[in-house]
Amino acid sequence: MLTKEIKDKLIQRAKDAWVRAYAPYSHYSVGSAVLTESGEIFDGVNVENAVYPLGVCGERVAIFKAVSEGHRSFQAIAVVTRNAGTPCGSCRQVMAEFGTDMIVLVANTAGELIQEYTVADLLPDSFGEADLQ
Ligand code: ZN
């Protein structure tokens, strides 16, 4: 169970990251922050490219940063955009790789929590490791 204090802290980290987004093409900045099982926070922003398909979402940057630092279990992820947009399908799949119980906090740039989901809510019946057995 995440306390309001922890949720607010995670949203604040995502909001702080949001200003560093590199989104010169879509002008749709995304800030994200993921909370590891051990209580560490890693943030990320979307990073676009002139070759559009090479861009990567903020949620995946945050998760990949955490994984590259040795974390594979996450409690929650916060996503901040100007209109509290929900994570795209690719990010939902990446989140599901590390657990469908993860809480997803969707907030706006005012720092207001607009929606709260689990990954399972956002990607029901997801494809995973078990499907490859
Ligand atoms: Zn995405």
Strands (E), the chain: 31-36, 41-45, 74-81, 103-108, 113-118
Per-residue pLDDT band at 59 (split at 50, 70, 90): very high
Tell me what percent of the residues of the chain surpass a pLDDT of 70: 100
Q: Find the 88 Cα to ligand 1 centroid distance in Å.
A: 4
Per-residue pLDDT band at 84 (split at 50, 70, 90): very high
Model's pTM, two decimal places?
Answer: 0.96
Q: Find the 25 Cα to ligand 1 centroid distance in Å.
A: 16
CB 51 within 8 A of CB 10: no
pLDDT at residue 1, rounded to an integer = 79
pLDDT at residue 28, rounded to an integer = 98
Q: Find the 65 Cα to ligand 1 centroid distance in Å.
A: 15
Residue bearing tokens 């029901």: 124
Q: Find the 51 Cα to ligand 1 centroid distance in Å.
A: 17
Which residues form the catalytic set?
59
Kindly report, residue by residue over 85-123, the tens digit of the pLDDT: 999 999 999 999 999 999 999 999 999 999 999 999 999
pLDDT at residue 113, rounded to an integer = 97
How many separate helices (H) and strands (E) can be counted in the chain?
4, 5
